[in-house]
Amino acid sequence: MSKREAKIVFTPSGRRGTFPYGTAVLDAARSLGVDVDSVCGGRALCGRCQIVCSEGNFSKHAIVSSADHLSSFSETETRYGERRKKPLEAGRRLSCQAKIQGDLVIDVPPGSQVHRQVVRKAAEYRDITLDTSVHLYYVEVQEANLHDAKGDLQRMKDALAWEWQLSDLEIEHDVLPTLQSSLRQGEWKVTVAVHNGSRIIAVWPGFRDNAYGLAVDIGSTTIAAQLVNLTTGSVAASGGIMNPQIRFGEDLMSRVSYVLMHPEGAEEMTAVVRSGINELIAEVCAEGEIEQTDILEVTIAGNPIMHHLFLGLSPVELGGAPFALVTDEALNLPAANVGLAISPAAVVYVLPCIAGHVGADAAAMVLAEEPHLMDEISLVVDVGTNAEIVLGNRDRLLACSSPTGPAFEGAQISCGQRAAPGAIERVRIDPDTLQARFSVIGSELWSDEAGFAGSIEKFGVTGICGSGIIEVVAEMYLAGIISEDGVVDGSMASKSPRVVAQERTFSYVLLDGERPIVVTQNDVRQIQLAKAALYAGVKLLLDRAGLAGVDRIRLAGAFGSHIDTKYAMVLGLVPDCKLANVASAGNAAGTGARIALLNVGSRRELEGIVRKIEKIETAVESKFQEYFVDAMAFPNKRDEFPNLFSEIKKPETKIVSIERDRARPRRRRKQA
């Protein structure tokens, strides 16, 4: 074996390492704790360890990845395809057979993961006035005969005009080929679906009283969909998947960079996101026990880059000032034009964007949370790899976005992972003993409760997800393990063996064992960088609005909705506010998309609101950096948090050097 070594990065986990040439990809994955399924012991029998080599120049990882950097397709892999009577899908390899021959970025598809991603974007209950754009009409059509030369379409139009007073109807071309068979199969009795009172988009034989729509929220990390009965307004099914674009970059700017370096990259990302949505469509239709062709309308919400890539538009201009959108208007498009596997005559309504970095998902969030109808000053934040922030009330709304990065999703954290069974999601630290207890996804018990070990036997403790990272860092601050500047206090090692030296800094051992879960100094820094970017964006909005604070805060998004609001404020993720007025908004973007699906009036309302929202571009604001630096501290270097510290005890202020040999705490001198 050659002594040469290669770098490898696994997505979506973000875990990376260096391995000798000839190392099996599966062995590399296992040594890094990457979640790759395999039950046959690497003998190429089960086929569960399939991976995809992402090709291109990944500047973020300083890697040029190519399929040529894997060993050639082996006879064993060929025999696997012959046994299954179906070869591996194009681009797929068995990780137990593929050997490292150069630098690689390897994507582990959802089907190859032992612990499937938990995409927690279930439909929220909302009282929505039902006024859809699709209506069903049952009609009895006069049979064709030799004495009347009218075509069957005209006969059906006449019946609709006579029975339902619908005139001047047009028909989608895709409906015409099956029109005659539907009329005759139904013995000249059919149900007709009409869009916006003007266009026939479906004809079924006989009587039918249900049609369906789909509300889709395309996030940079996850895609969520809600299958909705358009005649009752009820949610028939909901589901979510990881956004398959993650292999091109964890954050939005990484994906723009990929397009800049690979001219074909935009088309490639458009294809994979549409394919992912179609997988989700098949999933929710199976759960709802309907045919995919029963879906007659879709509403789409997404941030500007997801919006552009879904529509097949280049996001390159969004990568730099002035951050110009191709279009910020709402769009009505045929489903066939955007490659969705539903009724070919279905209509796709894409919600309007607010600004270059504040997209249709933020607009949907406004529709769901309705800050424009309130007297109180509301702050609504969709927390993700790119935080989108809306501030204001009925008098005035302002919006911006902040690049928080993927740390909140578990990436760039040493033991971080996405939400899946075995991921730590809740943490408590005893301030006296510094002992920790925690809960993990997949178990209802805390780690110090009887039966916990048995409850996690199938998956174990595998890492920390976003909400767990927020809580452990906040608890470390409250327990005095880290200073307000985010430095791990090495002197606490004399108090507890959980504080340990690591190179020139210190770390906190959350779980000791064969595979310890450790929070490092760098992990704390990654959270500081992410939360400081978000808070700086909020401060810019408050400045522009001339406000000192807010009356209510709503945290939205798959991640935002699972943050404990107290810990969000302890970290300084959001400004000071009465804790009782801080709450989760759930999947607000998905809820807004569903409102737009079920109520056409809300679309007009939203399009009017979006035009009035004042947009702030954080990238060109001179005070952003000043606010960012202040927000690196817990909860903030300058801003007081009287509401928060009236309910919890504020830790003692101390200054700690970040380097081990100088890690002695000093009390801060009082200013004269």
For residue 603, what are the CA distances in angstroms to 13, 307, 354, 590, 618?
A: 37, 17, 14, 14, 28
**Whether 572 contacts 476, CB under 8 Å:** no
Residue 668 resides in a domain: no
Residues 572 and 443 occupy one common structural domain: no
Quote the CA–CA distance of 382 and 418 in Å, as a whole number. 17
Residues 396 and 437 occupy one common structural domain: no
pLDDT given at position 411: 63
Long-range contacts of 252-255 (CB under 8 A, 24+ apart): 252/220, 252/303, 252/305, 252/306, 252/385, 252/386, 252/403, 253/319, 253/403, 254/60, 255/220, 255/305, 255/309, 255/315
pLDDT given at position 1: 38
Could you tell me the two tokens for 259? 């397009």
Phi, psi at 332, each rounded to 5°: -115, 120
User: Of the candidates 525, 550, 578, which is a domain's last residue?
Assistant: 525
Angle between helices 466-478 and 521-545 (to 10 degrees): 90
pLDDT given at position 572: 95
Residues 303 and 376 occupy one common structural domain: no
Residues 356 and 240 occupy one common structural domain: yes
Query: In this structure, which amino acid lies at residue 554?
Result: R
Residue 538 resides in a domain: yes
pTM of the full predicted structure? 0.79
Name residues of the chain where pLDDT drops below 50: 1-2, 118-121, 662-663, 666-672
Nearest by Cα to 471 from 504, 496, 508: 508
Residue 191, domain CATH: 3.10.20.880
pLDDT given at position 152: 93
Q: Give the 3-state secondary structure of residue 338.
A: helix
Q: Give the 3-state secondary structure of residue 422.
A: coil
Domain that holds residue 23: 5-112
First vs last Cα of the chain: how many Å apart?
68
Kindly give, in sequence order, each residue whose CB lies less than 8 Å from that of residue 248, ignoring residues fewer than 6 positions away: 54, 254, 255, 258, 265, 268, 269
Could you tell me the two tokens for 236? 């028939």
Number of domains in the chain: 5
Residue 127 resides in a domain: no
**Whether 403 contacts 251, CB under 8 Å:** yes
Q: What is the pLDDT of residues 580-617, one digit of tens each?
A: 999 988 889 999 999 999 999 999 999 999 999 999 98
Residues 429 and 397 occupy one common structural domain: no
Residues 495 and 623 occupy one common structural domain: no
Residue 123 resides in a domain: no
Residue 562 resides in a domain: yes
Residue 333, domain CATH: 3.30.420.480
Residues 200 and 272 occupy one common structural domain: no
User: Of the candidates 500, 525, 550, which is a domain's last residue?
Assistant: 525
Residues 498 and 551 occupy one common structural domain: no
Residue 223 resides in a domain: yes
Chain center to CA of 235: 20
3-state helix, strand, coil split of the chain in percent (to 5) is 35, 25, 40
Could you tell me the two tokens for 214? 């789909």
Residue 672 resides in a domain: no
Q: Give the 3-state secondary structure of residue 399.
A: strand
Q: Give the 3-state secondary structure of residue 471.
A: helix
Kindly give, in sequence order, each residue whose CB lies less than 8 Å from that of residue 611, ignoring residues fewer than 6 positions away: none
pLDDT given at position 667: 47
Residue 104, domain CATH: 3.10.20.30
Residues 402 and 538 occupy one common structural domain: yes
Residue 600, domain CATH: 3.30.420
Chain center to CA of 629: 27
- 657 by Cβ neighbours in 10 Å (0-12 / 13-18 / 19+) ranks as middle
Quote the CA–CA distance of 610 and 367 in Å, as a whole number. 10
Residues 76 and 141 occupy one common structural domain: no
Strands of 444-536 (E only): list them.
463-464, 499-502, 505-511, 517-519
**Whether 199 contacts 216, CB under 8 Å:** no
Residue 670 resides in a domain: no
Residues 520 and 499 occupy one common structural domain: yes
Kindly give, in sequence order, each residue whose CB lies less than 8 Å from that of residue 236, ignoring residues fewer than 6 positions away: 212, 227, 228, 229, 284, 287, 288, 290
pLDDT given at position 459: 87
* DSSP string across 107-172: E--GGG-SS------PPPP-----B-SEEEEEEEPPPPBTTB---HHHHHHHHHHHHH---S-EE-
Residues 575 and 552 occupy one common structural domain: yes
pLDDT given at position 515: 82
Nearest by Cα to 461 from 398, 513, 531, 411: 513
* DSSP string across 526-591: HHHHHHHHHHHHHHHHHHHHT-S--SEEEEEHHHHTTS-HHHHHHHTSS----GGGEEEEESHHHH
Residues in the chain: 672
